[in-house]
Amino acid sequence: MTVVFQDVVDPLVRYRPSGAPVLSLYVPIPYEPGELKGVEARFTDLLKSVREQLDSEELDHDARESLRSDIKRIADEVAPEAGRYKGRGVAVFACHEANFFEQVVLPRPVRDRAVVDATPYVRPLLAVLDESHRYCVVVVDREHAWIYEFFMDQLEESEKAHGRALRDPNYAGGWQGWKEDTTHHKAQLLARRHYREAAARVDEVMRRTGAELLIVGGHPETVAEFLPFLPHQLQPKVAGTFTVDPATMSPGQIRQRADEVASAFERREEEQLVAETFERLASGGFAAAGLQWCLLAVNEHAVQLLLVHDDEQVPGRVSDRCGWLGLDEEDCPVCGEPTRRTADVIDEMATAVIDTGGRVEQVYADTELDRHVVAARLRFPVPDPRS
Ligand SMILES: [Zn+2]
């Protein structure tokens, strides 16, 4: 399997309909091995829902047979192996008739989903790509620092930095009474030195890897003690913190906690993008909101950034000849050819935007985009078709 990168996305975005249906499947793989027995069952359930569509009147004999082969191949080849990708997601795009079969390992679990359409269903994939910040994760206690690099599909232990041996401040034994204060004071000094050194190493790793953001984990009190030791330039890069017990932590647990912090950070970023776009709209700048207006903007290749609310899907029409996208027209208003139905015109909009050099941001945060479903930042003005 391949790790998701632009070279994986391009063939999916550029895929041209062959007449046979493409089956797109997304399956989350749990973080902890204990939950893994569910993986094959998830595949079975999803594939069952696809098998039920085989009787649809929209499919002719060849399309049905092609889809049947895809279901079988995924059940035979992908499902039994997928459990290896703990804490990630597996996506498959298949069309037997067109000899097309792509498997992708996504950096984090995504919602289960099976979509049958003329083209690959790429929105969840684009959403993951778009959240591909490079993170550095550091877990600290008063004696150690574990530094991890975290990008796309990987969380790798970059460095385990041991501080100086530090006597447990509570280990006073027979000294208790007259030496406790000194021990405590010494412990503080050593902890401070350790934090300073750990912070310097984090700085070094972030420079070396080009990480844009930092996530800090540990016991809440150690995290609070450590943060002020980070160099000034790293302070604004702290995306968030999480609580973990360094004595018992597992890599899976760190991944999961870091993912949660990263997601919260992404939600804040989405809120900001939505707010900026709507401010632009309100001040008469280059922007659009709502499906009709954004469709027009996509058709004119005017979209620089497309914001899409959650996983909402809207059926629509596509002209495969000229690329025109719309909601109802059976014949293309541009080239006159008959259009084809699509299960989700927003997915078609997303691929068209990527294809014309724009960016797509899936917004999972609760924002005013909810009411409009889509909004866009434009390269040049496109008038609202409803006004
Ligand atoms: Zn057309």
For ligand 1, the distance from its centroid to the CA atom of residue 330, given in whole angstroms, is 10
The DSSP code for 78 is: I
For ligand 1, the distance from its centroid to the CA atom of residue 339, given in whole angstroms, is 7
**How far is Cα 366 from Cα 271, in angstroms, rounded to an integer?**
8
User: Is 255 part of a structural domain of the chain?
Assistant: no
Interval 190-197 mean pLDDT:
91
For ligand 1, the distance from its centroid to the CA atom of residue 338, given in whole angstroms, is 8
For ligand 1, the distance from its centroid to the CA atom of residue 344, given in whole angstroms, is 18
pLDDT of residue 208: 84
Decide which of 130, 159, 176 is a domain's last residue: 130
Over 70: is that where the pLDDT of 210 sits?
Answer: yes
Q: Range of 151's domain? A: 135-249
pLDDT of residue 54: 87
For ligand 1, the distance from its centroid to the CA atom of residue 325, given in whole angstroms, is 8
Across the chain, which distance is largest between two alpha carbons, in Å?
Answer: 94
Interval 325-352 mean pLDDT:
93
For ligand 1, the distance from its centroid to the CA atom of residue 155, given in whole angstroms, is 45
Q: Which of 34-38, 223-227, 352-356 has the lowest mean pLDDT?
A: 34-38
Kindly report the number of other CB atoms within 10 A of residue 156's CB atom. Answer: 9
For ligand 1, the distance from its centroid to the CA atom of residue 15, given in whole angstroms, is 17
Confidence at 206, pLDDT banded by 50, 70, 90: confident
For ligand 1, the distance from its centroid to the CA atom of residue 304, given in whole angstroms, is 22
pLDDT of residue 34: 61
For ligand 1, the distance from its centroid to the CA atom of residue 18, given in whole angstroms, is 17
Q: Are residues 125 and 143 in the same domain?
A: no
What is the total residue count of the chain? 387
CATH code of the domain in which 146 resides: 3.30.420.60
Q: Are residues 5 and 123 in the same domain?
A: yes
Q: Which of 24-38, 79-93, 297-311 has the lowest mean pLDDT?
A: 24-38
For ligand 1, the distance from its centroid to the CA atom of residue 43, given in whole angstroms, is 37
Over 50: is that where the pLDDT of 2 sits?
Answer: no
Confidence at 29, pLDDT banded by 50, 70, 90: confident
Strands 303-309, 374-378: pairing kind: antiparallel
For ligand 1, the distance from its centroid to the CA atom of residue 118, given in whole angstroms, is 16
For ligand 1, the distance from its centroid to the CA atom of residue 133, given in whole angstroms, is 37
For ligand 1, the distance from its centroid to the CA atom of residue 328, given in whole angstroms, is 13
**How far is Cα 136 from Cα 123, in angstroms, rounded to an integer?**
27
For ligand 1, the distance from its centroid to the CA atom of residue 323, given in whole angstroms, is 6
Tell me the pTM: 0.72
User: Could you give the percent of the chain with pLDDT greater than 90?
Assistant: 52
Torsion sign over Cα 126, 128, 129, 131: positive
The pLDDT mean for the chain works out to 84
For the record, the structure tokens of 158 come out as: 């970059």
CATH code of the domain in which 343 resides: 3.30.1330.30
Q: Are residues 41 and 116 in the same domain?
A: yes
Q: What is the DSSP string of 1-41?
A: -EE--HHHHHHHHT----SSPEEEEEEE--SSGGGTTHHHH
Q: Are residues 240 and 302 in the same domain?
A: no
For ligand 1, the distance from its centroid to the CA atom of residue 319, given in whole angstroms, is 4
Cβ pair 365, 274 in contact under 8 A? yes
Q: Are residues 202 and 79 in the same domain?
A: no
Residue 363's identity, in one-letter code, is V
Q: Give the 3-state secondary structure of residue 246.
A: coil
Interval 123-128 mean pLDDT:
83
Q: What is the pLDDT of residues 143-172, one digit of tens each?
A: 889 888 765 444 444 444 333 322 233 333
Q: Are residues 14 and 112 in the same domain?
A: yes
Q: Are residues 41 and 146 in the same domain?
A: no
**How far is Cα 362 from Cα 310, in angstroms, rounded to an integer?**
6
For ligand 1, the distance from its centroid to the CA atom of residue 311, given in whole angstroms, is 27
Q: What is the pLDDT of residues 256-304, one digit of tens each?
A: 898 889 889 989 989 999 999 999 999 999 999 999 999 999 999 999 9
Instruction: Count H helices and E strands in the chain, helices first.
Output: 10, 17
Q: Are residues 314 and 227 in the same domain?
A: no
pLDDT of residue 159: 46
For ligand 1, the distance from its centroid to the CA atom of residue 271, given in whole angstroms, is 35
For the record, the structure tokens of 119 come out as: 């083209």
pLDDT of residue 280: 96
Confidence at 179, pLDDT banded by 50, 70, 90: very low
Q: Are residues 201 and 77 in the same domain?
A: no
User: Is 25 part of a structural domain of the chain?
Assistant: yes
Nearest to 89 by CA among 49, 125, 133, 44: 125
